[in-house]
A = this chain, B = another copy of it.
Amino acid sequence: MTTRRDAVHDTLRQSEGFRSAQDVYAEMRQHGAKIGLTTVYRALQALADGGHVDVLRTDDGESVYRACETGEHHHHLVCRRCGRTVEVAGPAVERWAETVGTEHGFTEITHTVEVFGTCSSCSRTPRPA
């Protein structure tokens, strides 16, 4: 029953970085999969809701997904050129967020933290412009 969802999950697992719904859809069709775009969107949503994949928004507002190794809370170091992504932990950041929120009387504190950069492989190739 979850064949489609698993297929989407698998496709995501084979990707190095974050991929958009349209990316995943295109790739699956490329590999001969018989699936609709709507279903890909639904599968990704379900996977995200269930905490099986991570989601974030690109600068241009697109949602991108990634099947991370660890199920625990973590953040990402993403290459802005090629998308290569490294999962990173930040105990100091976790504490800081909690503290700063509490200090101002806020409760139920959450946070979003992403780090971007140019990876070593990409910084070797000629500059963009």
Given the known interface contacts A106-B79, A107-B123, A112-B113, the answer about A100 and B88 at a Cβ–Cβ threshold of 8 Å is yes
A positions within 8 Å CB-CB of B: 57, 61, 63, 77, 79-80, 86, 88, 90, 92-93, 96-97, 100-101, 104-120, 123
Given the known interface contacts A63-B61, A88-B100, A101-B77, the answer about A110 and B116 at a Cβ–Cβ threshold of 8 Å is yes
Q: What is the distance, in angstroms, from A87's C-beta to the closest C-beta of chain B?
A: 11
Query: Considering the chains assembled together, what is the distance between the CA atoms of A36 and B100 in angstroms?
Result: 39
Query: Considering the chains assembled together, what is the distance between the CA atoms of A97 and B92 in angstroms?
Result: 11
B120–A116 CB distance below 8 A: no
Which residues of chain B come closer than 8 Å to A57, judged between CB atoms?
Answer: 57, 61
B117–A109 CB distance below 8 A: yes
